[in-house]
């Protein structure tokens, strides 16, 4: 199901035995546009632990009606998990240590969002690559291409540059809670269009993410964004709406289809 990241950010994380804390941030991979970790604040029950990272493979059901996100971990498991320095980049060596602790495999062992699996839950169930040793993980570390985990809090607010002009800024992210991929970015255009509009774009349009000047460059024109479907949070559960959004940006380079799609939406 499609979900607003802003909405999930405020949910309480409910562990197997007790409450674990609240989500403070989402870290996503800007190559595959998929959530890799939740940064969880545990100060309410463990003041000196600070924030911990939890992989989506440990997450259960999203229960917006009770304001809870279930986590398939106990407090004790979270308490003893490898600590991390939130002021430093997260390395594959740290991730290997984290996955070894929880008994899960590495998501980067393949050319897809979740290794050879379609979701983080499949990796957790199959224990894919879970028996790899730390020495093997070290060798992998040295061969991997450079990639970055981005903070959703940081990236929210980034300016969007189309091929011909700046068009607005990121307001929210829409994710699929089945595989925790970011399907769409919600863009506010009030600094560009009179009166402003809230539109939705696909990560497939993104060329670069620039953390230096806080911007994202997309490969479509301002006109394509202007004519894109308006964001309607009430239709996120509507399969037809999602299919039309996908179709719009798949063929956005072909102007002859745009008018028809706009009418259909």
Q: Which domains does the chain have, with CATH numbers?
A: 2-150 (3.90.50.10), 156-264 (2.30.30.240)
d(CA 182, CA 30): 10
Question: pLDDT digits over 208-256, tens only?
Answer: 999 899 999 999 898 888 888 778 888 877 888 877 777 777 644 443 3
d(CA 37, CA 58): 10
Per-residue pLDDT at 76 exceeds 90: yes
Torsion of CA 213, 217, 223, 226, to 10 degrees: -70
Token reading at 76 = 């004790």
pLDDT at position 105, please? 66
pLDDT at position 134, please? 47
Question: pLDDT digits over 96-130, tens only?
Answer: 888 888 877 667 655 666 666 777 776 666 554 44
8 A C-beta contact, residue 1 and residue 178 = yes
pTM of the complete model: 0.80
d(CA 13, CA 143): 35
| Cβ atoms within 10 Å, residue 6 | 15
Rounded to the nearest 5°, which phi and psi values hold at 152? -65, -35
d(CA 252, CA 228): 9
pLDDT at position 35, please? 92
């Amino acid at each position: 199901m499609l979900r607003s990241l802003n909405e999930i950010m405020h949910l309480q994380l409910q562990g197997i035995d007790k409450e674990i804390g609240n989500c403070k941030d989402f870290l996503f991979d800007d190559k595959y546009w998929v959530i890799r970790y939740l940064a969880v604040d545990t100060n309410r029950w463990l003041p000196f632990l600070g924030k911990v990272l939890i992989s989506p493979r440990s997450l259960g059901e999203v229960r917006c009606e009770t304001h809870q996100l279930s986590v398939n971990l106990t407090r004790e498991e979270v308490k003893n998990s490898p600590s991390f320095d939130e002021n430093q980049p997260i390395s594959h060596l740290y991730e290997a240590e984290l996955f070894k602790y929880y008994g899960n495999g590495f998501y980067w062992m393949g050319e897809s969002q979740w290794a050879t699996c379609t979701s983080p839950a499949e990796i957790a169930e199959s224990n894919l690559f879970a028996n790899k040793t730390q020495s093997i993980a070290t060798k992998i570390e040295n061969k991997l291409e450079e990639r970055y985990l981005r903070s959703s809090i940081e990236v929210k607010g980034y300016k969007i540059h189309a091929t011909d002009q700046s068009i607005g800024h990121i307001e929210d992210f829409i994710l699929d809670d089945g595989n925790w991929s970011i399907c769409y970015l919600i863009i506010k255009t009030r600094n560009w269009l009179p009166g402003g509009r809230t539109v939705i774009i696909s990560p497939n349009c993104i060329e670069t993410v620039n953390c230096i000047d806080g911007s994202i460059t997309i490969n479509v024109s301002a006109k394509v964004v202007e004519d894109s479907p308006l964001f309607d949070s009430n239709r996120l559960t509507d399969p037809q709406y999602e299919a039309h959004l996908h179709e719009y940006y798949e063929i956005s380079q072909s102007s002859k289809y745009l008018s028809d799609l706009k009418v259909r939406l």
